Chain A
Amino acid sequence: MSADATPLLHTPLLHTPLHALHLELGARMVPFAGYAMPVQYPAGILAEHRHCRHEAALFDVSHMGQIQLRGDGAAAALEHLVPQDIIDLAQGKQRYAFFTNAQGGLLDDLMVTRRADHLFLVVNAGCKADDTQHLVTNIGHRCTIVPMPEHALLALQGPKAVLALARLNPAVATLSFMTGGDFELAGAHCFVTRSGYTGEDGFEISVPGAQAVALARALLAQPEVKPAGLGARDTLRLEAGLCLYGHDIDTRTSPIEAGLTWAIQKVRRPGGARAGGYPGASVIEGHLTMGVSVKRVGLVGLEKVPVREGTAIVDAHGSPLGRVTSGTLGPTVHEPVAMAYLAVNHAGLQQEVYAEVRGKRLPMRVSPMPFTPHRYHR
């Protein structure tokens, strides 16, 4: 079989605070966004994915960017860069957001939480340098931007995550989906939100880097918890219908085309009290009022062949309809699942389309997302 074509890297990879622990656990490490990250542990991607859906999986996502925005003007300032309602985001509440560009495309997607004296942002690892520069350049005069490079970020995801985490601090069970608070965990001051990237109930835990390993060990000591890597993280989020920046959304996709209209609160839409005022607003408002010509849809394969990113989608006559942006064989749904941008008149639910794989046309049908139900604790 063909050999892996990963090029030899000469720039040393960055390590998260959990690097040595990953090696101790037998992780297979791969380069990701300039970091050495675990793609899987000895159990393998399928087992790690299933363990998350049935019990609790622990992910190291410390490579992601954690940033504080401080100052009274921070919320209003951030609204200059995102089409979300940040001003009325109540303390302890978290919201999904995205940075837009002048063309109405997306620079990154992120999570924003209102904490007691600042806004807490979590951005994608591959974008964190650009995002920080974007913030400094555009709103650095209106608020103070404080990156948190010394902090680790752990994600504990799955139906038994709350059972496991509550043993370290019972108060975490009081959090509901998309809320956060400060909690002592394994002797560390942590900020915990009840959210994640898997579709399951779970938590994301911001912990000082020096205490991250002790916390990770305390979590792994719980009977429900097993480690999981980036491989499982990707199959989980795909089955959950969640976008991966750089693949399903990028600078060329508007949030409306991407099916993220729900994330733009009414107050920021045309007619709302704080409509517009972010980059590309005129394009996005045009999409909101006039519609779009392509949209992101879910596809389920009728034959058990994985359909991957870049695959062409055609109609029964072979006419091009669009392209796949993410795809895998879903370990929970046992079917090939994919996201693709299709011309809107071919994007109706249950519509049959074809994926061109190795010279064959594989039938797929347009499917609602998520492919497996979300189980958030609301």
Chain B
Amino acid sequence: MTTKFTADHEWIDNEHQDAAVVGITLHAQDALGDVVYVDLPEVGRSYAQGEVAGVVESVKAAADIYMPVNGEVVEVNEALRENPALANSDPMGAGWFFKLKVADTTQFDALMDPPGYDDLLKTL
């Protein structure tokens, strides 16, 4: 199982450790409503876990995107920049936000697995 979740409703897929994929969850896009704009992180820049890496904006509000683990951003989703609605229509696939080189896999291991995230959703 290569996908883990954060308490901020983001997912990270570590199948390719040099290019782990990060996005927002189904719950997150539903809570936001129609996404109209995304501000993506800088490629080549390193961020610490919890640092604000970008912004996702819906019609009504803006929300920060946090770095799920320490790492260097290696790619951003230009298709999402062009078409922010992908974050609603396919948040777990084509609506990915950015890819990063994971600096510390223990941080990744400490994140929630899918059943753990489902349990979190039940408490909301």
Contacts and interface: CB of A to CB of B under 8 A. Distances in A.
Interface string B21-59: 000100010011110110100000000000000011111
A235 B63 CA distance: 19
Contacts of A4: 31, 61
Nearest to A328: B59
A40 B56 CA distance: 19
Contact of B37 (A1, A44, A306): A306
A48 to B, nearest CB: 10
Interface string A38-74: 0110001111000000000000000000000000000
A358 B55 contact: yes
**Which 4 pairs, one residue from A and one from B, show the smallest C-beta to C-beta distance?**
A1-B63, A329-B36, A46-B34, A45-B59
Nearest to A336: B37
A331 to B, nearest CB: 8
Contacts of B118: none
A358 B24 CA distance: 21
B104 interface: no
Contacts of B5: none
Contacts, number: 53
A22 interface: no
B98 interface: no
Contact of B8 (A2, A39, A44, A358): A2
Nearest to B58: A45
Interface in A300-321: 304-306, 308
Interface residues of B, number: 25
Given A40-B33, A45-B33, A306-B36, A2 B59 contact: no
Interface residues of A, number: 21
B124 to A, nearest CB: 9
A9 interface: no
A231 interface: yes
A44 B55 contact: no
Nearest to B25: A1
B106 to A, nearest CB: 23
22 contacts: A1-B9, A1-B24, A1-B32, A1-B64, A2-B64, A4-B31, A44-B88, A45-B58, A45-B59, A46-B34, A47-B34, A231-B33, A235-B59, A304-B37, A305-B37, A306-B36, A306-B57, A306-B62, A308-B62, A328-B59, A329-B36, A358-B39
Interface string B56-74: 1111111111100000000
A8 interface: no
Contact of A1 (B34, B56, B59, B60): B56
Interface of B: 8-10, 24, 28, 31-34, 36-37, 39, 55-66, 88
Interface string A292-305: 00000000000011
A3 interface: yes
Nearest to B56: A1
B8 A46 contact: no
Contacts of A45: 33-34, 58-60
Contacts of B28: 1
Interface string A130-157: 0000000000000000000000000000
Interface in A176-197: none
A1 B33 contact: no
Residue of B8, B34, B55, B56 most packed against chain A (CB within 10 A) = B34
B8 A1 contact: yes
A333 to B, nearest CB: 12
A46 B39 CA distance: 20
Interface string A188-221: 0000000000000000000000000000000000
Contacts of B36: 46, 306, 329
Contacts of B10: 1
Residue of A2, A235, A328, A358 most packed against chain B (CB within 10 A) = A2
Nearest to B59: A45
A44 B63 contact: no
